[in-house]
C-alpha cells in the first residue's frame, strides 16, 4: 500500500495555479514528472492576451508625436500592433529555451543530473508569474491610460517615471520570478541553495543590464 501511494505521488502532475500557492511542491512534481507542451501553450496564450492589451493602448498620436505623418502613423500602428501580439507568443518560448540551455550548462558544472526537459518544464511553470504580471499591468494601462511600457508594479510606475529604464526592470513579478527560479534550481535541479540563488540573481541582473543598454540607446544622439 505504501509503495502504491509513493508511485501515485510521483506521477502527480505539476499545476500552473499551484505556482502561486505551493511552488515548492510543484518543483518536486516537475522533477519527477516534467510537463512541457500544455503549460507552454497556456503561458504563450496569456502573454499574447497581455500584449493584445498593450497593443490596444497604442494610438496614432503616439507615432505622430515621434515625427511621422498621419498616413505613415496609421500604417506603422497596424504593423506594430501585429508585431506586439506575435512577440507576446514568441517571447515565452525563446526565454524559456535560452534560460534552460544556460542553466543546464551551469548545472552540469555543479554536478547536477538534471535534464533539459526538467529545466524547460521548470522555467515554463515559472513563466506563469510573468504572464499574469503582463496581463495585470497592460489591462490596468488599457483601463486608465498611460505609457504601456511602464508597469504599475515597477519602481518606474511607482515613481511616475516617463521612461521604463532600469527602474522598470525592478518590478514585483520579476522579483517574484527570480525567487521562484532560485527555489526551482534547488528543488528541481538539485543545486545547492547558494549556487541556485547566485544563478537566479545573475539572470535578474542581466535583465537590468539589458534595460541599461536600452536606455543608453534611446538617449543616444540620432544621426
pLDDT in tens, 171-199: 999 999 999 999 999 999 999 999 999 99
Nearest to 181 by CA among 160, 161, 195: 195
Q: How many Å separate Cα 2 from the centre of its chain?
A: 39
Compare 200 and 84 and report the one with higher pLDDT.
200
pLDDT, mean of residues 3-7: 52
The 10 Å Cβ neighbour count of residue 222 is 3
Q: Quick check: 4 pLDDT over 80?
A: no
pLDDT, mean of residues 4-33: 84
Nearest to 118 by CA among 106, 138, 103, 136: 103
Q: Distance (Å, rounded) from C-alpha 166 to C-alpha 156?
A: 8
Q: Distance (Å, rounded) from C-alpha 123 to C-alpha 41?
A: 13
| % of the chain at pLDDT higher than 70 | 88
Residue 221 pLDDT class (50, 70, 90 cuts): very low
Task: Supply the pTM of this predicted model.
Answer: 0.85
Q: Distance (Å, rounded) from C-alpha 45 to C-alpha 16?
A: 14
Q: Distance (Å, rounded) from C-alpha 171 to C-alpha 154?
A: 4
pLDDT, mean of residues 98-102: 94
Supply the DSSP string of 8-57, one letter for each residue.
Answer: HHHTPPP-TTHHHH-HHHHHHHHHHS---HHHHHHHHHHHHHHHHHHHHH
Angle at 195 between CA 171 and CA 201, to 5 degrees: 15
Q: Quick check: 164 pLDDT over 90?
A: no
Residue 217 pLDDT class (50, 70, 90 cuts): low
- As beta bridge partners, residue 171 has 154
Q: Quick check: 15 pLDDT over 70?
A: yes
Q: Distance (Å, rounded) from C-alpha 76 to C-alpha 72?
A: 6
Q: Quick check: 223 pLDDT over 50?
A: no
What pLDDT sits at residue 125?
97
- Three-state secondary-structure class, residue 146: coil
Q: Distance (Å, rounded) from C-alpha 85 to C-alpha 52?
A: 6
Compare 217 and 200 and report the one with higher pLDDT.
200
Amino acid at each position: 500500500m505504501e509503495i502504491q501511494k509513493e508511485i501515485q505521488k510521483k506521477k502527480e502532475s505539476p499545476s500552473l495555479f499551484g505556482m502561486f500557492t505551493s511552488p515548492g511542491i510543484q518543483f518536486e512534481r516537475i522533477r519527477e514528472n516534467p510537463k512541457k507542451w500544455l503549460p507552454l501553450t497556456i503561458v504563450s496564450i496569456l502573454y499574447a492576451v497581455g500584449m493584445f492589451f498593450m497593443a490596444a493602448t497604442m494610438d496614432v498620436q503616439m507615432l505622430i508625436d515621434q515625427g511621422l505623418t498621419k498616413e505613415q502613423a496609421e500604417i506603422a500602428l497596424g504593423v506594430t500592433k501585429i508585431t506586439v501580439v506575435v512577440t507576446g507568443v514568441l517571447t515565452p518560448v525563446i526565454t524559456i529555451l535560452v534560460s534552460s540551455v544556460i542553466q543546464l550548462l551551469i548545472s552540469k558544472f555543479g554536478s547536477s543530473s538534471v535534464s533539459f526537459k526538467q529545466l524547460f518544464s521548470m522555467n515554463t511553470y515559472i513563466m506563469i508569474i510573468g504572464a499574469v504580471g503582463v496581463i495585470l499591468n497592460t489591462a490596468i494601462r488599457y483601463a486608465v491610460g498611460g505609457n504601456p511600457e511602464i508597469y504599475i508594479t515597477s519602481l518606474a510606475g511607482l515613481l511616475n517615471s516617463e521612461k521604463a529604464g532600469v527602474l522598470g526592470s525592478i518590478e514585483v513579478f520579476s522579483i517574484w520570478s527570480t525567487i521562484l527560479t532560485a527555489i526551482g534550481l534547488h528543488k528541481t535541479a538539485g543545486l545547492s541553495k547558494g549556487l541556485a540563488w547566485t544563478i537566479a540573481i545573475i539572470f535578474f541582473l542581466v535583465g537590468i543590464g539589458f534595460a541599461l543598454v536600452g536606455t543608453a540607446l534611446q538617449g543616444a544622439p540620432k544621426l
